[in-house]
Structure 1
Amino acid sequence: MTTRNASARYEGFGKTGKGHVSSESGVLADTPYSFNTRFGDEKGTNPEELIAAAHASCFTMALSFGLAGAGYTEGTLETKAAVKLEQDGAGFKVTRSDLTLTASVPGIDPDQFASIAADAEKNCPISKVLNAEITLTHTLND
């Protein structure tokens, strides 16, 4: 149905190398990434941050569509995703993505909201592609 593109370039190798990532839309345009943006505090991005942004936005959009399908037309959804990178033998592995949602949906029953949110967490395309534990914690405000 849809194909989206991004590219990455890395110059040099290992800890001293420097990379840049760009996306088809131009939102990312030669955005720097490196060992120090991934494991240190150098300004730039890293793969786990990009996965977290993708997961938070995908889940939030899926939830928005689920709520619209249930007849809700207004409210706000704010999601944070915390993607964990852990040692895996000689390499690393993304082991989990923890979604934390704060929502305001006027008139919704909390049980119905929890059901729609759980379905969105399970079925958003990024959740489906991740081979990691995914958790969802939510707060529904009046």
Structure 2
Amino acid sequence: MPVSRAHATWNGDIPSGSGTFTAGDSITGGVTYKSRFEGGPGSNPEQLIGAAHATCFSMALANALAGAGFPPESIDTDASVTLRPIDGVPTIMKIELVTRARVPGIDEAAFGELAASAKANCPVSRALVGVPEISLQATLVGE
């Protein structure tokens, strides 16, 4: 399997400095204290973690569904990453995954089981095992 690479640069101190990042061939962005801790414009690492988790989960769910004989038409997943200070240190405390999938022929129970398994077993979920809470709301979308 290939090695995935990313790069980041930070200039200056935290309150007034700024940084940039690249990932793969087409993902670039800028980050500042305001974009990370105050909801200001720009990007932050938690958004990248959310994007990675939503993508990984969606792919894992698609694979699980297809393996069970229910290839999905579509899977849309949002991730919300909550950062809170713990003992004075910013810490990712919660990730909420919300997914909507169009999957012909599957019932709610089977879909729920496969979604829970995908959440537990996608590589990003496994890497984030230290996050105290990772929740999933999985909804089947009717045809």
Which TM class, normalised by the smaller chain length?
A: over 0.9
In the TM superposition, what whole-angstrom CA distance separates every residue of 1:70-124 from its partner, at most 9, and x where no partner exists? Answer: 1123421111111110111121100111101111111101111111100000000
Backbone CA RMSD of aligned residues: 1.2
Counterpart position of 2:137:
137
Counterpart position of 1:26:
25
The alignment-based identity, stated in percent, is: 38
Instruction: Give, as a single letter, the amino acid of the residue that structure 2 aligns with 1:36.
Output: K
How many Å separate the matches in 2 of 1:86 and 1:42? 17
Structure 2 unmatched runs, 5+ = none
Counterpart position of 1:69:
67
Matched, 1:9 2:14: no
Instruction: Give, as a single letter, the amino acid of the residue that structure 1 aligns with 2:50.
Output: A
How many Å separate the matches in 1 of 2:9 and 2:54? 25
TM-score calculated relative to the size of structure 1: 0.93
Secondary structure at the aligned position of 2:15 is classed as helix
Residue correspondence of structure 1 range 79-94 to structure 2 within 5 A: 79-94=77-92
Q: Which of structure 1's runs of 4+ aligned residues deviate more than 4 A?
A: none
The alignment of Structure 1 onto Structure 2 pairs a total of residues equal to 140
Structure 1 unmatched runs, 5+ = none
From 93, 96, 101, the equivalent of 1:95 is 93
What's the offset of the Cα at 1:37? Answer: 1.1
